[in-house]
A = this chain, B = another copy of it.
């Protein structure tokens, strides 16, 4: 009922605070969107199994599990995709004012060829249809499920000391054609995944001065939009 989130502190259920899983948080904050530090070393089969099992263990609307994962190692396929991405990079650069275009020119946006493999994640809206429980009012709920799987994959890969980079400089129709994805299935992500020399401590885009991270209190509201929670970040992780 209180708008001041600090009001929550007093004495309830404090035990769980001691039990919290520092390892999970460490993985969450260590995770980076990797472009430049891939080594190209192969990822062992059993590691990929674990990472994909984590993705497949994500929640999904109506237990529809509408995701698929296409593992792309072919150098030819990756070269085709890379070429397309360069074109889209140029298309984006042309929309920028000169100072931003100059900054953008220095930022690496993908590790398609240097990563160990690509994992293309797709959304199949027909899975579990008709009657997907929880999707009649929000058609995009199935798409949301696919993204939850992506984040599980990303964290699992991070815990395995792998890097992941999400590439979104592409046209969906191009990727569909390239990998023979049926028309009812939508590509959601090309994830570069693989062994890395290191993970950066600061996100690339922040390091390059493209954009900064927001403080937590800027994005938390109490009860209604616009009622900010001033005390929230005191003592934050």
Q: Kindly state whether residue A98 has any CB partner on chain B within 8 Å.
A: no
Residues of B within 8 A of A216 (CB): 49, 52-53, 56
Compute how far the CA of A162 lies from the CA of B96 in the bound complex, rounded to whole angstroms: 44
Q: Assess whether A43 is in contact with B159, with CB atoms less than 8 Å apart.
A: no
Q: Assess whether B50 is in contact with A211, with CB atoms less than 8 Å apart.
A: no
Residues of B within 8 A of A152 (CB): 28, 151, 155
Q: Assess whether A211 is in contact with B71, with CB atoms less than 8 Å apart.
A: no
Q: Assess whether B8 is in contact with A44, with CB atoms less than 8 Å apart.
A: yes
* Smallest Cβ-Cβ distance to A229: which chain B residue: B71
Closest beta carbon of chain B to A210's beta carbon, Å: 7
Task: List residues of chain A with CB under 8 Å of any chain B CB.
Answer: 1-2, 5-9, 12-14, 16-17, 19-21, 23-25, 27-29, 31, 33, 41-50, 52-54, 56-59, 61-65, 67-75, 77, 88, 91-92, 95-96, 100, 104, 107, 109, 122, 128, 130-131, 133-138, 140-141, 143-144, 147-148, 150-152, 154-156, 159-162, 166, 168-172, 179-182, 185, 188-189, 195, 203, 205-206, 210-214, 216, 219-226, 229, 231-233, 235-237
Compute how far the CA of A2 lies from the CA of B154 in the bound complex, rounded to whole angstroms: 23
Residues of B within 8 A of A45 (CB): 5-9, 231-232
Given A13-B44, A71-B229: A49 touches B235 (CB 8 Å cut-off): yes
Given A64-B211, A136-B92, A224-B70: A25 touches B50 (CB 8 Å cut-off): yes
Q: Assess whether A9 is in contact with B44, with CB atoms less than 8 Å apart.
A: yes
Given A25-B50, A181-B225, A225-B181: A220 touches B71 (CB 8 Å cut-off): yes
